[in-house]
Structure 1
Amino acid sequence: MIHTPPGDRRRCRSLTLPNGLRVLLLRDPDADQAGAAMSVGAGSGDEPPDRAGLAHLLEHMLFLGTDRYPAPEDFPAYVQGHGGRYNATTELHQTCYFFEVPPAHLGGALDRFAQFFIAPRLTESAIAQEREVIDAEYRARRGDDEQRILGVIKQVLDPAHPASRFLAGNRDTLGEAPEALRRALMAFRQRHYTAANLRLAVVGNEPLDTLERQVRRCFADIPPGTMPAPAAHPPLLPPGSLPLGLALQPTHRRHELRLCFPVPALRPDDYLQPWAYLGELLAFRGPGSLYGQLMDRGWLTGIDGSVLLDTRPQALFQIRLRLTPDGMGHTAAITAAVFACLRRIGTDGIAAWRHRERQVLADQRFRLAATTSTLEFVKSLADQLHRYPVAEALRGPYRLDAFQPRVIRDCLAHLTPDNLLTLTVDPAVRGDRTSPWFPAPYRVAAAPDPGATRWDGAPDFTLPPPNPFLVTIPHAEPGGPSAAVPRLLHDSGQSRVWHQPLARAPGGRTGIHLNLVAACPTHTLGATVLTALLIAWLERELAAEWQQARAAGMEVTPSRHHQGITLRASGLPEQLDRLLQRLSSCLSRTRITAERFDQARQGLQACWEAQQHDLAFRRLLRLPEARLGHGFDDEERLAELATVSLERLQVFRDELLHGVGIDCLVAGPLDGARARRLVAGLEARLLAGEASAVERRRPPIVSLQAGQAYHYRLEASHPDSAVALYLPGPDGSPLQEARYRLLAALLHDAFFHRLRIEQQLGYVVLARYLPLHDCPGLILLVQSPSLSVDELQRRIRHFLTAPDAPLPRLDPERFAHYRDGLLHALQAQQRQPAQQMEQFWASLAAGDADFQRPRQLLQAVTDLTLEELQRFYQAQLLPSPWVWLHT
C-alpha cells in the first residue's frame, strides 16, 4: 500500500514493466496539469573521470531529437505550444527529466518523452553544437561565488571521491572529435540508461487503468539492462587531514564563515531527519539565541545549518554564518560561540516535545504536498522512487518515526573541533594558490583552535520555545459555497476589504493580500529606499516569530509596492490573527533602536550588493521596471542607502503611517464576519484619528515614442555580452494582454531554436511575456560568451523583421495549437486558489474592482485570429518603441 495523506482524493498504483522499469502512477481528478518525470540512477559522479560533463551533455542531447521524432524542436514545441513546461537536472548520482502539459495532451507528450530513453539520435552535429552550449553555461557561471566556494572545498577532498571532480563540463573536457564523444555518450547511456536503473512517475486526471495503458504502450521498448552496483567511494576527506582551515577571496563583496564537518551519509530510510533537527536549533532567531547574540554584537547577518554535499559514504554538514565586515575580525570568537551553542543543544536541546512538534509539522507538510505544482511534484516523486521503498514514495520526505535521542546525539558527536573544515570567505584574503575551473585565490591553513578563544557571551543560548503558530489543520471538509469573485465587505475610503469564500482551500488555509497605502509620496528614490529599509527592519524585529510561522506552514512575504508596503500571507485564521497583531503592533509601537537600524541597513546593503553581481540576464529582466517603471537600479539604491540615518527612517515611518490606508483581499474557507475580524485589529492599531479617504494612485510609467529606439546600459562585471529587447504594450487592455501573451508563447520556441540551437549564440536565449505594472510587454533576451552587443542586437532585429520571421509565416494549425495552450494555462491558473488570488489582486491594482479582467482576458484570447495577430505584429508591434537593454 502506498501511503497518502488522510482524506487525499488521489489514487496511486505502482507497477513494474516486463523490461524492469519501475513506475508510480498517480491519478488526481482535480489536476489542471498532467506530468511525468523519469529519474535516472546515475549522474555526474558516475561518468569516467576523464569525461567531465558527459552526463550533463547527455541530459541536453536527449531533448534534441529521436528516431521517431527527429526534429530538435518537436518535444519543446509540443509541450510549450500546449501551455506546458519541461526541464531536466543533472546531479551527482541522479539525472531527472520532467514535464507538465494539459491532461488532454499527456498521451502525445509521453509518446515523445519515452523516445528519449529508447532511441535518441545523438547526432555528431548536435553533439558539436551542444558542447558549445555546455561551455557557454560553464562560462556564465565561472564567476559565481557559490561555485567557487565549492570548487575550493573540492581541492581538499579525497581525489578518489567523485565529489572532488569538476562536474559541469566545458569545451576542454568535452573537446574531442564529435565521433569519439558520441561513442562515449553511447557507452554511458548503454550502461546507465536502462530500464532497471530508471524510475518513472506519471500524474494525470485519467483513470489509473488508462494511465497504465499509456505507460505500457510508450515505455515497453526501453532496454532492460541491470542495475549497476553502487561504486565504492573513500571518505570525503583523507584520514588525518582535519582539522583544517581554508580562506578564499570572493569575486564580489561577501563575508562568510562556514564550519564544515564530514558526517555519515544520510540514510533516508531512518526517517528521523537528525541534521534538519540540529540545523533548526542552530538557526533559531529569537533574542538570546546564537543568531541573536552575534547579531547584537554587529557581527552577523544570517545563519543556517544544512547538508552541503549529500553523497556516500559521507556527507558534508555545514554551519554557514553570513558576517558583517566587522564580524570578519572576530571569526575565532564566533567559532567558539558556535561550539558553545552546540554544547547547549547537547544539554537541553534534544527533547521529546521538540520531536513531537516536528512530527506534527512534517505531517502537515505531507498533507499540503499535493498542492505544489505538477512540474515540481512529479520531479520529486520520481527522485524519491530511488531513495524510498515504493510504499513511502509520497510520504518518505515527511515521515518522522519515534523519538530516538541517541541518533541525534550520535550526529552531534561529529560536530567537534577535531572534525572541522573551516572556510573563510573574505575580500581581504590573499591566496597563495588558485582553484581550477571556477578560479578563486585561496590558501590552506590550520583550523582555528576553538579552545584558544573562549566565548565571553551568555553560554545559555536561547533555544526555540514551543511554536506559537502550531495549530491543528482541520480535515478538508467542504465549507460553504464558493464565490466566483470577491465581494466588497467594507469601504470607508481609508480602509477597503474584499472577501472571497472558498468551499475548498489547500489545507483549509486562508490567503490574505494586504496593502498599506501611504498618503505621502513613495515613488521617489529616497522613499523607495526608506520603504525597503523599513521592511528590512520589520523582518529583523519579527525574525523569530516569522521564522516559526513559516516553520508552521505559513507563507509570509512582505514587499514594497509603488505606494507603500504589501504583505502576502497564508495560513489558518488563528495563525493569521496572531501574525497581523504582531505586525501592526510592531509597525506602530515598537521603537527603532540604533542596533536594529544598523542590522537592517547592513542586511539590505548585502542583498542589493549581491543583486549587482547576479547573472547579467537576470539583471536585464529587472531593468524595465527600473528604467521605465520609475524604479531604480541597484547602484542608485545603494548610493541612497548610504545616506539614510536612523532619524530619517523614524520620520519616514511616522509620515507613512499618518493617514495610511488599507486595502485587503481575504480568500479562504471562512465567512465574511470572520474575514472582517481578521482586518479589524490591524485597522484599530494603524488607522488613528478621524477617517479620511486615501487616494490610490496608479504606478507611473515612462512615456515612450512609437518608432523610436531607446538604449539603457547595465554595468556588469561578467565578461559575457547580454542584450534584451523590450517591447512595451501601448495600453493595459485585455486585448493587448492577450496579444502579448500569445506572441511570447509563439515566438519563444522559434527564437530559442534559431538563436540557441541553430546559431549557437549562448546558453540563455528566451522570449517572455513581461508586463510593466498593469501594461503588457514582450522581452527577447540573449546572453552570449562570444558575440558583441552590436552583433546580438543585429541578430535579434533580424529574427523579428527578416522575410523568414516566424510570425508572418506561421500556419493556422500551429497558431491554434499555441492559442489553445495559452487558454488552458490561463484557465488552470484561474482554478488554483493562490494564482486566482494573485489575478484578483492585480485586478484591484488596475482599478478593476468588479474583477472582470480574468474573464475578459480569456475571451480576448479566444477571439484572437492568426490574421488579426499578424496585422498587429506588422502594424503595431514592430513600429512600437524598441527599448534596448544591454551590458
Structure 2
Amino acid sequence: MNHTSAVSDDELARRAGLPPGSRLLEARLVNGLTVSAAEVPNARWQRLVGAAGVGYLDEADDCRGLAHLLEHALFLGSADFPGAGELAGWVGQRGGRYNARTDETTTEVHLQLPPAATDEGLVRLVDMLARPRFDPGLVAREVEVLEAEFHARLADPALHRLMALGRLCREGHPARHCHAGNRATLGNEGSHLAARLADFHGHHYRAGRMALVSLGPLPLEAQLELLMRHGMALPTGDVPPRRAWRWAQPGGVAWHPPMPQTGASSLELFWPLPDEQAIAHGDWLMAVAARLADGRLAATLQAAIELDRLEVTLDPVGLGAALALSLAPAPDEETVQAILATCCSALERASVAALSAPPVPVADLDAWPRRHARQLAGSAEHAPCGEALAEAALLPWLAPEQCRLLWHAPAASGLWKTLGETGTRWRPQPLPTERVPLPWRAPPVLAEHRPQASAEDPTPRLLYRDERVTLWHGEPLRLTAPPAASLCLGWPAPASTQSARLFQWRQNLLPLRQSALAQGLQLVCGGDARGDWLIASGAAKRLGSLAELALACWPPLPLPCPSDPPAGLLAQRLLARLEASTLGVGRAGALPMLGWVSSDALGEAAQTMLDSLAERCSTHQTSETCHEANNDGNDTLWLPPQGDDHVAMLEVAGPDDSPRSRWLLRLLAQCHDAGFQQEMRQRRGLGYVAVVRYREASGVPRLGYVVQSPHTEAGELRQAIGDFLAQQGEALTHLTAAEMERRKRGLLAHAGSPETQAEAIDQLWQALRRQASLSPPPLPWPPLPWEAESQALATLHADSLLELAKDLAAGRLSQRWWLHQPR
C-alpha cells in the first residue's frame, strides 16, 4: 500500500459528501487496485461495490453487447461458488440486496448486507470479479435473456436517447452504435461466446483499472484491512490505453422513439470535458454547477416557459466527463432556442462567478459507494499528472460554441431519419447563430426571522390542539451535532386529483427548491393516500419563510397535467406503481391538519400556517376523504399499450399498516421470490422477468408478483401466478423455528435506527401522520418507529407467516391485477 495524505480521514469524508461524523480512507495496493473505506457510524447496512473500468465502448465491433453479457455472466458462478444462483440465495437469506450495472466506461457490482456478513460478502464479490466461470450452456441462455430484454427496451425512451446521442459522435467510434446486445450482435453459439468472454474478462478485469469500495458502520481500519486482504486476489495487470475522444464537432440532434408519447419532450445541453481537466478541477466544476442550480436560471426560464424540470449534473448518463443540463418540457423550436440562449448565458455568468461554497447534498448512502467506485475505477488512466492545470484552461470547453444539444422532440411533421437496429427517429438540429437570452429573474428570496427564545427541550409534547389543528414539538432523536431544525406540515387533500396536484406543485416549487438548496436548506414535498405534506429542514431562521413560500405554491385546484414518458422495463414501471397505490390504505382514515416542529421557537409560525391552510382547504373544498377514491375489490387494471411484451402483476396489500404486517410481507417475499423465479422462468419458460418485490404505500405494505414475457399472453401469465400461490405459496413458508430465526436475523438491518438525519425526520413524521389518521387519535407521541419495528420482528413466529400465506392463497387479502397486452 502506498497511501499518503496530509488530509484527515474525517476531512476527506466531509469533502466527499458523507454524513457528519463519517471517516474516509483510500489506498492503492501493490497489485494496482484502488480501495476506499467509509465509516458511517449510523449506517445499518454495509455496502460493498466492485467496479472495473471497462464498459460497452471497449467492445469489438463484431460482438456488441459483450460487456453487458459479461455483467450477466458474472452471476453464473465463480471458481469457489460455482452455482448459478448461489449469490442470489446467499444474499437473500441475509435480507440483503445485490445488482450490477454496465455503462459506457465502467461495470460495477454492488451488495448491501448486514455488517456481520462483510467478510464473506467480500470473498464472494472478489471471487466473481476475479474468477468467473463461463459455462457455454448458461452463456447461451443469457443471450436469450438479453434478446428478450433488448426487444422490451425498444419501448424505453432511454435506449433511443443513447442511439440519438451516437449521432453526435465521430464516425467510426463505438459510441455511434447500440451496445445493449442481442442475438443478432452476439450470436448464440455458447462455446464461442464463452471464449470471447474469457478473453474480454482477462484483458480488462485487471486490478490496475479496478476499485473496491466499502461503506458502513464497521470501524474504518477494519474495513480497510478487509478490502486490502481480499483485494489482493484480483489479478495484477497494466492499465489499457486511453480511449479516443468520442465527440464530433458541436451540433444538435432531435429524436423521438418509434411510437412517441403525446406531449413528451425534453432538452439536454451538455459540454464534454477532457477527463484530466474534469478530475483536476472537480471542486470548481461543482461550484459552477451549483451556481446554475441556485434558482435564478429556473426562475428566468419558468417566467417564460412552463418548466417542469431543470437538473444540472457532472455525472450525466452516457456522456462521460461533461457538464450537463436537462430540462423539460421543450415542445417546439422556439422554446429550444430560448432555453439554449438563456442556459449558455447562465453558464458564462457561472464560470466567472461560481458559487463560493457549494451546498453539500444530503448523502445517499446507497448511491454514494457506487458512484465513488465508478469514479475510482475510471480515473486510474486519467489521473492528472504534473502541475495542476489552471481553471482558465477549462473555460474554452464551456464556451457557447462547444455546446451539444439533444432534443427529445414531439413527433411533428418534418423529415425524420430512422436508425435501423432500434427504429429510433432522428434528424440534425442546427444550433441557432443568434442567441438572445430571456430577461433575467431573481430567485425566490427567503426572509430571515429571528426565532423566539426557546428552552429547546427535545422531549416530544403536544404544543397546540383545537378542533382543526394539531401541532407537536420535540426532537426524539438527534444524529448530528448541532442538528438542523425541521418543520413538517400535513393536511387532507383529494385523492382523485393527487397526481395532477403533485405534478403542478413540484413544477411551481422548482426555483424555490433550488434557491433553498443553495442556502443549505432542504425542502421535500409529497403526497399519498392520507393527504399532502412538506418537510423543511436547515437553519431555523429561514425555515418559516421557506415553508410559507412552499405552501403558496400548492395548487388546491390543479390543472390537468402531462404525464412523464414511461421509462424502464414494463415490469419495473408496474412495480413503481405499488408505491403510490391506494389499495388497502383507505381503511386508516384521513389526515387532520397536522404539524411538527423540532423546536418550539418555530411553533407560532407553524400554527399560523396551519390555520391559514385550514381556511384555504375549506374554501376550495379539498377535504374529500382519502378512501373515497380507494377500492379494495379484486379489480383488474389494463395498462395502455407501451411495448411489445405481455405483463401480469398481482398486487397484494397487507392486512393493515402495522409493523407486524410489514415484516410478514417482507418475509413472504423472501420465501417466494426464488421459487417464483424458478417456476415461471425455468420450469414454465414464461418470461425473462419473474420476481416478487416488497413495497409500501402510505405505510401499508404490499407485494408485487410480476412476470414479463415476449410471447405468453397476459391471461396465461395471470393464471400461472395464481397457480403458483395455490400450489406452492404455503409450502414455501413452512419454516422451522431455527430457519425463521435465521431469516429474522437477516432482516435486523431493516429494523435499526435511521442512517441519516433526513431519514430520521421522514420516519418520525410518517409515523406521526399514521397515528393522527386514527379515530380518535391517541394523544401520546407514538413510539420511535424503528423501535416498534424491532419489537414486532422479535415477536414473529413461523406460524404467523404460514397463516398469511394461507390467507393469500385463499384470496382473503386485498388484491388487484395489473395487465398489459401489446399494441
Q: Tell me the SS of whatever aligns to 2:75.
A: coil
**2:439 matched to which residue of 1?**
461
1:335 is aligned, of 334, 337, 359, to 337
Q: Tell me the SS of whatever aligns to 2:186.
A: coil
Go from structure 1 to structure 2 and tell me whether the alpha carbon gap of 1:563 and 1:614 turns closer, same or farther (over 3 Å shift): same
**2:452 matched to which residue of 1?**
none
2:606 is aligned, of 675, 679, 683, to 679
User: Does the CA contact (< 8 Å) of 1:279 and 1:304 recur in 2?
Assistant: no
**2:763 matched to which residue of 1?**
836
User: Does the CA contact (< 8 Å) of 1:151 and 1:436 recur in 2?
Assistant: no
Partner Cα distance (1:628, 1:801) in 2: 22
1:410 aligns with 2:399: no
**2:262 matched to which residue of 1?**
253
Measured after TM superposition, the shift of residue 45 of structure 1 is 1.0
1:268 aligns with 2:223: no
**1:665 matched to which residue of 2?**
596
Partner Cα distance (2:414, 2:526) in 1: 38
Aligned ranges 1:256-335 → 2 under 5 Å: 256=265, 258=267, 263-266=272-275, 267-272=277-282, 286=296, 290-295=300-305, 302-303=309-310, 320-323=326-329, 325=331, 328=332, 331-332=333-334, 334-335=336-337
Partner Cα distance (2:68, 2:427) in 1: 30
User: Does the CA contact (< 8 Å) of 1:256 and 1:426 recur in 2?
Assistant: yes
**2:126 matched to which residue of 1?**
114
Go from structure 1 to structure 2 and tell me whether the alpha carbon gap of 1:42 and 1:782 turns closer, same or farther (over 3 Å shift): same
The superposition leaves residues 38-73 of structure 1 with CA deviations (integer Å, 9 ceiling, x where unpaired) of 110111111212211111111122123223222233
Q: Which moved more, 1:96-105 or 1:29-38?
A: 29-38
Partner Cα distance (1:137, 1:470) in 2: 53
Go from structure 1 to structure 2 and tell me whether the alpha carbon gap of 1:870 and 1:10 turns closer, same or farther (over 3 Å shift): same
1:514 aligns with 2:514: no
Report the residue type matching 2:573 in the other structure.
R
Partner Cα distance (1:450, 1:336) in 2: 12
**2:36 matched to which residue of 1?**
24
**1:741 matched to which residue of 2?**
666
Aligned ranges 1:842-853 → 2 under 5 Å: 842-847=769-774, 849=778, 850=780, 851-852=782-783
Measured after TM superposition, the shift of residue 184 of structure 1 is 0.7
Q: Tell me the SS of whatever aligns to 2:693.
A: strand
**1:381 matched to which residue of 2?**
372
Q: Tell me the SS of whatever aligns to 2:14.
A: coil
**1:450 matched to which residue of 2?**
433
**1:778 matched to which residue of 2?**
703
User: Does the CA contact (< 8 Å) of 1:124 and 1:182 recur in 2?
Assistant: yes
The superposition leaves residues 720-764 of structure 1 with CA deviations (integer Å, 9 ceiling, x where unpaired) of 111111233344454433322321232223334543466554443
1:862 aligns with 2:817: no
**1:499 matched to which residue of 2?**
473
Partner Cα distance (1:55, 1:801) in 2: 40
Go from structure 1 to structure 2 and tell me whether the alpha carbon gap of 1:389 and 1:496 turns closer, same or farther (over 3 Å shift): farther
Q: Tell me the SS of whatever aligns to 1:59.
A: helix
1:558 aligns with 2:490: no
Go from structure 1 to structure 2 and tell me whether the alpha carbon gap of 1:410 and 1:515 turns closer, same or farther (over 3 Å shift): same
Go from structure 1 to structure 2 and tell me whether the alpha carbon gap of 1:835 and 1:784 turns closer, same or farther (over 3 Å shift): farther
Partner Cα distance (1:507, 1:134) in 2: 50
Go from structure 1 to structure 2 and tell me whether the alpha carbon gap of 1:469 and 1:79 turns closer, same or farther (over 3 Å shift): farther
- Superposed CA RMSD: 4.3
Go from structure 1 to structure 2 and tell me whether the alpha carbon gap of 1:809 and 1:220 turns closer, same or farther (over 3 Å shift): farther
Q: Tell me the SS of whatever aligns to 1:817.
A: helix
**1:873 matched to which residue of 2?**
805
**1:886 matched to which residue of 2?**
819
Q: Tell me the SS of whatever aligns to 2:341.
A: helix
Report the residue type matching 1:504 in the other structure.
L
Measured after TM superposition, the shift of residue 178 of structure 1 is 0.7
Go from structure 1 to structure 2 and tell me whether the alpha carbon gap of 1:700 and 1:804 turns closer, same or farther (over 3 Å shift): closer
Measured after TM superposition, the shift of residue 782 of structure 1 is 1.5
User: Does the CA contact (< 8 Å) of 2:31 and 2:207 recur in 1?
Assistant: yes
Measured after TM superposition, the shift of residue 183 of structure 1 is 0.5
User: Does the CA contact (< 8 Å) of 2:578 and 2:651 recur in 1?
Assistant: no
Partner Cα distance (2:432, 2:579) in 1: 51
Unaligned stretches of 5+ residues in structure 1: 394-400, 472-478, 632-659
The superposition leaves residues 297-320 of structure 1 with CA deviations (integer Å, 9 ceiling, x where unpaired) of x7x6555565686889x8666655
Partner Cα distance (1:263, 1:283) in 2: 19
Partner Cα distance (1:217, 1:622) in 2: 43
**2:570 matched to which residue of 1?**
615
Measured after TM superposition, the shift of residue 444 of structure 1 is 4.1
Go from structure 1 to structure 2 and tell me whether the alpha carbon gap of 1:497 and 1:611 turns closer, same or farther (over 3 Å shift): farther
The alignment's TM-score, normalised by the length of structure 1, stands at 0.77
Go from structure 1 to structure 2 and tell me whether the alpha carbon gap of 1:243 and 1:219 turns closer, same or farther (over 3 Å shift): closer
**1:397 matched to which residue of 2?**
none
Go from structure 1 to structure 2 and tell me whether the alpha carbon gap of 1:699 and 1:408 turns closer, same or farther (over 3 Å shift): farther
Q: Tell me the SS of whatever aligns to 1:221.
A: coil
Partner Cα distance (1:180, 1:248) in 2: 36
**1:137 matched to which residue of 2?**
149
Measured after TM superposition, the shift of residue 258 of structure 1 is 4.1
Q: Tell me the SS of whatever aligns to 1:549.
A: helix
Measured after TM superposition, the shift of residue 145 of structure 1 is 2.2
Aligned ranges 1:335-414 → 2 under 5 Å: 335=337, 338-339=340-341, 342-343=344-345, 346=348, 350-351=351-352, 354-355=353-354, 358-362=355-359, 364-365=360-361, 368-369=362-363, 372-373=364-365, 375-386=366-377, 404=391, 406-407=392-393, 409-414=395-400
Aligned ranges 1:84-233 → 2 under 5 Å: 84-231=96-243, 233=244
Report the residue type matching 1:386 in the other structure.
A
User: Does the CA contact (< 8 Å) of 1:344 and 1:461 recur in 2?
Assistant: no
Go from structure 1 to structure 2 and tell me whether the alpha carbon gap of 1:487 and 1:746 turns closer, same or farther (over 3 Å shift): farther
Measured after TM superposition, the shift of residue 199 of structure 1 is 0.9
Measured after TM superposition, the shift of residue 142 of structure 1 is 0.9
1:605 aligns with 2:561: yes
User: Does the CA contact (< 8 Å) of 1:722 and 1:784 recur in 2?
Assistant: yes
Report the residue type matching 2:53 in the other structure.
G
**1:724 matched to which residue of 2?**
649
The alignment's TM-score, normalised by the length of structure 2, stands at 0.83
Go from structure 1 to structure 2 and tell me whether the alpha carbon gap of 1:762 and 1:407 turns closer, same or farther (over 3 Å shift): farther
Q: Tell me the SS of whatever aligns to 1:566.
A: strand
Measured after TM superposition, the shift of residue 154 of structure 1 is 1.4
**2:542 matched to which residue of 1?**
575
Go from structure 1 to structure 2 and tell me whether the alpha carbon gap of 1:159 and 1:875 turns closer, same or farther (over 3 Å shift): same
Report the residue type matching 1:251 in the other structure.
P
Q: Tell me the SS of whatever aligns to 1:361.
A: coil
The superposition leaves residues 144-168 of structure 1 with CA deviations (integer Å, 9 ceiling, x where unpaired) of 2232133123135223323222121
**2:675 matched to which residue of 1?**
750
Unaligned stretches of 5+ residues in structure 2: 450-454
Partner Cα distance (1:319, 1:868) in 2: 51
Report the residue type matching 2:522 in the other structure.
E
Report the residue type matching 2:489 in the other structure.
L
Aligned ranges 1:692-841 → 2 under 5 Å: 699=627, 710-756=635-681, 761-771=686-696, 773=698, 775-802=700-727, 807-808=732-733, 810=735, 812-829=737-754, 833-834=760-761, 836-841=763-768
**Among the aligned pairs, what percent are the same residue?**
23
Measured after TM superposition, the shift of residue 283 of structure 1 is 6.4
Go from structure 1 to structure 2 and tell me whether the alpha carbon gap of 1:383 and 1:620 turns closer, same or farther (over 3 Å shift): closer
Q: Tell me the SS of whatever aligns to 1:186.
A: helix
User: Does the CA contact (< 8 Å) of 1:41 and 1:95 recur in 2?
Assistant: yes
The superposition leaves residues 358-407 of structure 1 with CA deviations (integer Å, 9 ceiling, x where unpaired) of 34224x34xx54xx32x3222233223236689x99xxxxxxx9995x35
